[in-house]
Structure 1
Amino acid sequence: MRIGIVCPYSWDVPGGVQFHIRDLAEHLIRVGHEVSVLAPADDETPLPAYAISAGRAIPVPYNGSVARLNFGFLSAARVRRWLHEGDFDVIHIHEPTSPSLGLLACWAAQGPIVATFHTSNPRSRAMIAAYPILQAALEKISARIAVSEYARRTLVEHLGGDAVVIPNGVDVDFFARAEPKAEWCGGAPEAGKGGSTIGFIGRIDEPRKGLPVLMRALPQILAARPLTRLLVAGRGDEEEAVADLPAAMRSRVEFLGMVSDEDKARLLRSVDLYVAPNTGGESFGIILVEAMSAGAPVLASDLDAFAQVLDQGEAGELFRNEDADALASAALRLLADPQRRAALRDRGARHVRRFDWSTVGADILAVYETVTAGATSVATDERSTPRFWFGLGRE
């Protein structure tokens, strides 16, 4: 099968949607399909052989974050050229309602179109207001996928229609096979005798990822367990992140910067506890699945999407969202209870298999096969793209 995948967000800025698309493409290639991914990317961004740049992206506030999106005359022309040259059996558009390549591809294509909705935003006035603009594009979609029940609910309440829920996928064995890194483990000299390590992975300067909540909890944790270390992987202002910590405690926070996929897996294999203090805007929680795959006991805020991924607290513990005291109390209890952490590891290892690409990829392929059965290949829709679109940005 010839499959075209449209990524809405810049390939060079790490994010859950980009990782999902990358892993989906590589899974599909491994099982014998031809795949091309169209994504925003700066000229200097190294791209895998299956990816094609649609040009540089522009930072735009979106869903409580800043997304790097791609739109305008040049982008529309590149989408059409990609569609024409690809001769795809099906195209898979991610986030078709975002002002980026996905919406352009919906307008430009006709034929078998699958769309995945990642966003969970129960009060999006902008999405409701934009529905008349989006309607013509959305009506061309042959099948809809939502990555969680909460993403599906956002779709149903704001745009109508429905979607099949297929979660984000993870290569479970990749994380399970990773070797712990001695200097990141609780027994390392840096941790001190009897010390423990807590892990956090995410953008440091994006408040909804929750690092400020964890930083507010850290003094209580260190008061009770002074040899604990917090390992933080991600980009952002490190000095600002620890600015509110007592000076004597700042040495207990180690910033690792951006880490490779291999080092992310090793970090998750090394920590005594992984904490996900995200405060909102999450429709799934891929980092929780990666942590469970690596055998890390998980403590997460009680967002609806996180509770679903963690089997309502059976595969990982939950604390009250944005409550630093509750986070500290739960973390101290878990760090003092190796048997409970071992039970979470065992439960997580069993639970996480439902998110492996062997399962998720087969479910997505089944959707492709449904929409392509008896259909002609994807073609370029000769109707013009709405003119108002090009007032949104310039390249």
Structure 2
Amino acid sequence: MRIGIVCPYSWDVPGGVQLHIRDLSEHLVREGHDVSVLAPSDDETPLPWYVVSAGRAVPVPYNGSVARLNFGFLSAARVRRWVHDGDFDVLHIHEPATPSLALLACWAAQGPIVATFHTSNPRSRAMIAAYPILQPALEKISARIAVSEYARRTFVEHLGGDAVVIPNGVDVGFFAEAAPKREWQDGTIGFIGRIDEPRKGLPVLIKALPRILEALPGTRLLVAGRGDEEEAVAGLPAELRGRVEFLGMVSDEDKARLLRSVDLYVAPNTGGESFGIILVEAMSSGAPVLASDLDAFAQVLDGGEAGQLFAGGDPDALADAAVGLLGDPARRAELRERGRRHVRRFDWSTVGADILSVYETVTDGATSVAPDERTGLRARFGLAARE
């Protein structure tokens, strides 16, 4: 199958959507499909062979963060040429409600379109205001996927229709088989995320750290991600700042090794999350997970069975939970085992098969399905009605 995938966000700034698209593309290639990805990127960014650059992106505030998007007349021309030359059996567009390549691809495409919605934002004024512009493009979509129930809810409330929930995928084996790193072990808490993005929650964790260190003085916090390191620890007493080690941006291999090494992984995010891929990666690595009680995180962690939840935004609640877990090896071992069992449903062997089922249903091959069965498939995958 010839599959075109559109990434709305710049390839050179890693994020959950970009990583999902990368891993999906590589899974599809391994399965024997012909895949091309169109994405914004800076000229100097090294790209995988299957990624086509649509040009440089510009930063735009979006959903409590800053997204790097590409939009305009030149971009539209590049999208039309890529769609025409690709002659795809199916076009898979991510975040088509953003003013980006995804929306441009919706306008340009003629064949079957699958759209994945990642955003969770129950009160998006921008999405409501943009609906009259979005509607003609969205009506061309053949099937809709949401990465979580909360992303599905955002789509339904703002844009109408429905979507099937297929979660983000992870190569569970890659994380499970990583080798721990000795210097990252023994009394360590891990955090991975953009340091200077408040909703990722590092300020909450930093505020909790003095109470954690008071109870367990040997604890260290390992932080992987880009941002201003000095500003991140400015609120800590000077004598405690040495207990925080900044690793900067890490490779995928070192991320897996970090998660395999820590005694506890903490996700203190404060909002704007539709899924929580880092939680799945942590569980795949066997790290016990402590996460804020965001709805999306609770769903990923099986309601708190596969990881412990604390009251989001509350440093004292985080500190109490972290001290309790770090002092209870048996409880951490229990969370590790539950996480390992639960995470299997997120492996690409399952997630990729579900996405391929959607592709197959919207392509011409679906015409061989009996009419009554096809109706059931359309209902399952949130497909647009066809005459």
Q: Normalised by the size of structure 2, how large is the TM-score?
A: 0.94
2:55 is equivalent to residue 55 of structure 1? yes
Match of 1:390 in 2: none
Are positions 1:39 and 2:39 aligned together? yes
CA contact (8 A) 1:112 1:375 kept: no
Q: Which residue of 1 aligns with 2:120?
A: 120
SS of corresponding position for 2:168: coil
User: Which residue is equivalent to 1:268?
Assistant: 259
Aligned to 1:248: 239
- What whole-Å deviation, never above 9, does each CA across 1:5-48 have from its counterpart, x for those lacking one? 00000000010000000000000000100000000000000000
1:3 corresponds to: 3
How far apart, CA to CA, are the structure 2 residues paired with 1:204 and 1:239?
A: 10
* Structure 1 residue matching 2:21: 3-state secondary structure: helix
Mapped partners of 1:213, 1:152: distance in 2: 28
1:221-370 map, 5 Å: 221-370=212-361
Query: Matched residues in 2 for 1:219 and 1:375: separation?
Result: 59
CA RMSD of aligned residues (A): 0.8
Rounded Cα–Cα distance in structure 2 between residues aligned with 1:299 and 1:98: 32
Q: Unaligned 5+ residue runs, structure 1? A: 187-195, 377-395
Partners in 1 of 2:148 and 2:275 — Cα distance? Answer: 6
Distance 2:28 2:147 in 1: 18
What is the CA–CA distance in structure 2 between the aligned matches of 1:129 and 1:48, rounded to whole Å? 36
CA drift of 1:126 comes to 1.3
Q: Residue by residue, what CA displacement relative to the aligned partner does 1:333-354 show, whole Å, maximum 9, x if unpaired?
A: 0000000000000000000000
Aligned-partner SS, 1:110:
coil
Task: Determine the C-alpha separation between the residues in 2 that align with 1:375 and 1:86.
Answer: 21
Question: Which one-letter code corresponds to 1:269 in the other structure?
Answer: R
* Whole-Å separation in 2 of the counterparts to 1:294 and 1:29: 25
Partner in structure 2 of residue 135 of structure 1: 135
Which 5+ residue runs of structure 2 have no aligned equivalent? 368-387
Counterpart among 189, 196, 207 of residue 216 in structure 1: 207
1:373 to partner: Cα distance = 2.7
Check the 8 A contact 2:190/2:264 in 1, yes or no. yes
Shift of 1:374: 4.7
Deviation at 1:111, TM superposition (A): 1.3
Letter in 2 for 1:76: A
Q: How many residue pairs end up in the alignment?
A: 367
Aligned to 2:85: 85
> Aligned AA for 1:274?
Y
2:362 pairs, out of 354, 368, 371, with 371
SS in 1 for 2:32: coil
1:78-101 deviation digits (Å, cap 9, x = unpaired): 001101110100000000001100
Q: Which amino acid aligns with 1:68?
A: R
Q: Tell me the TM-score normalised to structure 1 length.
A: 0.92
Rounded to whole Å, the distance in 2 between the matches of 1:99 and 1:204 is 26
Corresponding position of 1:391: none
Residue of structure 2 in register with 1:76 after alignment:
76
Secondary structure at 1:200 match in 2:
strand
* Other structure's SS at 1:158 match: helix
2:379 equivalent in structure 1: none
Matches of 1:354 and 1:90, distance apart in 2:
25
Between the aligned residues of both structures, percent identity stands at 86
For residue 168 of structure 2, what is the aligned residue in structure 1? 168
Give me the whole-angstrom Cα distance separating, in 2, the residues matched to 1:100 and 1:117: 14
Query: For the Cα contact (< 8 Å) 2:360–2:366, is it kept in 1?
Result: no
**Residue equivalent to 1:180:** 180
